[in-house]
Structures are given as structure tokens and as C-alpha cells.
Amino acid sequence: MLSRVRSLPHFHRDLRVVALVAPRRAVTPRTLGVLRSLTARIKGADPDIHVLEPGVAVRFFRPRTSAGDAPRPALLWIHGGGYVFGRAAQDDALCQRFADRLGVVVASVDYRLSPEYSYPIPVEDCLHAYRWLVNREEVDPSRIVIGGASAGGGLAAALAFAIRDSDLTEPVFQLLVYPMLDDRTVSGPEHMRMWDGECNRFGWASFLGDADASIAAPGRRTDLAGLPPAWIGVGSNDLFACEDREYADRLVEAGVPCEFHSVSGAFHGFDSVSSRSGVAREFFDEQCAAVSKILKA
């Protein structure tokens, strides 16, 4: 076992054991039903649940050490799953950690999945949740962060465009965790795990349907000016490593402050499948530091 672990020098030392068993391809049309069945069994925590419309709900978390009733900052969090599987309950523990660490309320969105509901429906579901959050009495609408992981990060990026082009109060920050941004990405680092080009083709084809990819895929958008500041984090062994870096560079070129954080030797979803590892804790700390900095500015 030790020799096999040592034979994986391209992975972060904290992730080499997990890399031995982590699949390169987590979802295909054949496995989608199984993955959905497994995620449907996730019970999660016991937060307040608000149904916004059939198929769309928000799981609401408060800091467990909160003091006072004054409106506080908020994080709208969007779960991942390649646009085709997953549910908000899978991130309950993470959302409570954000709430406790940052002293914010967190609204985690259950949006409708593709291919049954293709673009723009998932983005509209997240926009509905954002409107709901802005109008909560316990929320300071001038200090709302939007964020998500993987497909959730892609939806958060798409949501930023939708809010910018509306009359809604704009978020102060985008927290984009290895976001899924560009349907054109079909190849990446040699040592990928969890999500590869075939997964990406399937996820994007399901999400896009008949939509215009130049509008639906944030990585294809050319009008990045006026978006909220952003933090983008991704592993060097992630399929999205290049597209995320390019998007960060383009945000900066458009005058949007963006901090890019690369985790050497990390693969897609590493902080989920190895949440107790040192590298995962450091990755979470980086996210919290970025959000804290913007909320205290």
C-alpha cells in the first residue's frame, strides 16, 4: 500500500491515498440514475427549509453563536453535481461551517436539475432564491456573497450576470470553488480524478439543451465588466484548472478584482472526498479569509 501511495507523486501528499480509489469519471448517462438515488438518501442536518416553488427550496443556516438580532451578511450557496445530480443537503455541514466561521446566515439552494430542466431554469431558480434572500429581515442586502462549488460555482457565475443585468441589489462577492464555466473544455491535466472530459460533455449537453452556449456558459461570455469581485480556487489536477485561471485573468482584464488560488496536486472535489485532510482545511480557510476580507472592507 505504501509503495503504491509513493507512486503517485503528482498528487498532493494529503490526497495520495484517496487518489488510489477515486474514479477518473464519476458520472455517465448510465450511472446518473445510481448517483441520483444515492444523493437522494442524504439526510443532511435539520435547518429551516423554505419551499419557494415546486422543485425549488432553500435550506437556511444561522451561526450557532449568533448574538443580537441586527441584520447580518449572508452567503447564497449553490451545490455541485455537474448540473445533473446532487442536492443542497449534501453541503449542510459545509454551510453550517461557513455560518459559524463567518458569522453569516447561509441560504443553500435546491435547484432543478438537467437534463429535465435545462438552461435557463437552474439559473432562474438560483435567482429566485437570491431575491428571497435579499428580502429577509435578518439579512443585510448590501453584504450578500454568492458562491458554489463545481456546477454550483458555474451557476453562481451565471447568477452574477443575471443580477448585474437586473434591478436587484448586487452581491458584494463571488466565491467560485473549482467552478464549471466552459462547455468547450474536453481535456485537462493527465492526473485527473472525479471529473473528466466525457463527464463534462454530458453535463454541459444536459444543461445547455437548445440554449446559446455563448450566453449560457459563463466562460464564453465577453461582457465581464461590472461583475462583483471574485475568488476562484481550483486544484492543479482538476479538469477546470485552465478554464478557471483564464476566467480569473479575464475578470481582472475587465476591471473586476479577482484572486486566483491554485492547489498543487489537488483533483476535482478533493475537499469533499477528503474533507478532514490538511489541504482541504487550508482550502476552506482560504475561502473564509477571502469572504471575511470583503465583508469587513
**With contact defined as beta carbons under 8 Å apart, do 243 and 181 qualify?**
yes
Q: Per residue of the chain (297 residues), what is the pLDDT tens digit?
A: 445 555 567 899 999 999 998 998 989 999 999 999 999 999 899 899 999 999 999 999 999 986 667 899 999 999 999 999 999 999 999 999 999 999 999 999 999 999 999 999 999 999 999 999 999 999 999 999 999 999 999 999 999 999 999 989 999 999 999 999 999 999 999 899 999 999 999 999 999 999 999 999 999 999 999 999 999 999 999 999 999 999 999 999 999 999 999 999 999 999 999 999 999 999 999 999 999 999 997
Q: Cα 77–81–85 angle (5° rounding)?
A: 115
Residue 255 lies in a domain: yes
Q: 240, 181 in Cβ contact below 8 A?
A: yes
Task: Please report where in the chains the cell 478533493 appears, as a residue.
Answer: 270
* CA–CA gap between residue 86 and residue 89 (Å, rounded): 8
Q: Which amino acid is at 65?
A: T
CATH code, domain carrying 269: 3.40.50.1820
Rg from Cα positions in the chain: 18
Residue 286 lies in a domain: yes
Name the residue type at position 232. Answer: I
What is the distance between the terminal CA atoms of the chain, rounded to a whole angstrom? 49
Domain hosting residue 179, numbered range: 33-64+71-89+99-227+242-296
User: 150 in a domain, yes or no?
Assistant: yes
- For residue 278, what is the enclosing H or E element? helix 278-296
Cα dihedral 246, 152, 143, 134 in deg (nearest 10): 140
Instruction: State phi, psi for 244 to the nearest 5 degrees.
Output: -70, -40
Report the alpha-carbon distance of residue 254 to residue 226 in Å, rounded: 8
Q: Quick one: pLDDT at residue 66?
A: 66
Q: Is 101 helix (H, G, I), strand (E, B) or coil?
A: helix
The pLDDT assigned to 2 comes to 47
CA distance 182 to 206: 14
Q: How many domains does the chain have?
A: 1
- Quote the pLDDT of residue 65: 82
- Distant-in-sequence, close-in-space partners of 138: CB < 8 Å, separation ≥ 6: 62, 69, 71, 72, 105
In a domain, residue 114? The reply is yes
- Stated as kind and residue range, the H or E segment containing 72 is strand 72-78
Is residue 12 in some structural domain? no
Residue (of 145, 168, 147, 167) closest to 158 by Cα position = 147
Residue 77 lies in a domain: yes
- At 262, list the grid cell: 491554485
Q: Are 61 and 229 in contact (CB under 8 A)?
A: no
Instruction: Specify the DSSP class assigned to residue 199.
Output: H
Predicted pLDDT at 81: 98
Q: What is the pLDDT of residue 297?
A: 74
C-alpha to C-alpha distance for 257 and 247, rounded to whole angstroms: 12
Beta carbons within 8 Å of 34's beta carbon, 6+ residues apart? none
Measured CA to CA, the distance from residue 246 to residue 269 in angstroms comes to: 20
pLDDT of residue 114: 98
Q: Is 54 among the domain residues?
A: yes
Quick one: pLDDT at residue 265? Answer: 97
- Residue 6 in domain: no
pLDDT for 1:
46
Q: What angle do CA 153, 154, 160 make, to 5 degrees?
A: 90
